[in-house]
Amino acid sequence: VRVNQTRMIGAAIRYVRRGYGRGTTPLGFGAPKTDTDHGKRPILNPHSEEAKWFVRMFELTAEGVKPDQEICDEVNKMGFITRPKVYRDKENRNKIIAIKGKRKLNVKMLRNYIQNAIYAGVNTEKWLIQNGELKPVYLKEGGLVSVELFNKANHGKVMIMDEEGLPRVYHGKIPDWQHKKLKLNPNYPWKQY
C-alpha cells in the first residue's frame, strides 16, 4: 500500500507541476480528460454555465462602483449556487446521511473567489512548494479571467506578475513609492526649514 501510494501521489505532484488539474474541480471549471503529451489528463476548462458567474464577479469588483453585497445579489440573480456534496454513512456506503452545499453567494465567499489565483489561470496549491518556496504554474488552458482583470479586481491585495515566463503571486505587495516614509528623508533634507 505504501509503495502504491508513493507512486500515485508522486505522479499527481508531477502532473500538477506541469499544469494539469487534480482532485476536486473548483467551482466555475470542468475537468474533462483530454489526450495530451503525457497521456489522458484532466484539464481545467471553463464550465458552460458556472464560468459566467465568475467572470461577472470579477468585472463588477474591478469596476469598484458597487458594494460587495450588491455584487452578490446580482450574481445570485444569474443563478449562482454551489455544487451539492453528498455525505454517506461510513459503514453502509449506500446510505446518504446529508446533502450539503447548494448555497447562494455571500460576501465572504465572494472575497475568497476574487482572491483565488486559479480563476486567472494560475495554480497555487501546496504541491507546488519546492524548497520552502511556492512556485505557481500556469494552467494548461488558462483561466476564466485575464491576469489584468484579476489584478484590477483585487486592488493590489493579491497580484499576479509574470517573471521570466513564470507566474508570481504576491499578497499585499506594496509598490516602492508607497513604502514607509522617513521622517528625515535624504531626498528632501531641508523640508523642515
pTM of the full structure: 0.81
pLDDT at 88: 96
* Three-state SS at 92: coil
Residue for grid cell 523642515: 192
pLDDT at 52: 96
Report the alpha-carbon angle 95-101-107, nearest 5. 165
pLDDT at 175: 67
Helix ranges restricted to H, the chain: 2-17, 51-63, 68-77, 107-114, 147-154
Closest CA to 41 of 62, 69, 12, 64: 12
pLDDT at 191: 80
pLDDT at 182: 72
User: Could you report the average pLDDT of every consecutive run of 10 residues in the chain (193 residues)?
Assistant: 93 89 89 88 91 96 93 96 95 95 95 95 89 89 92 91 89 72 79 80
pLDDT at 184: 79
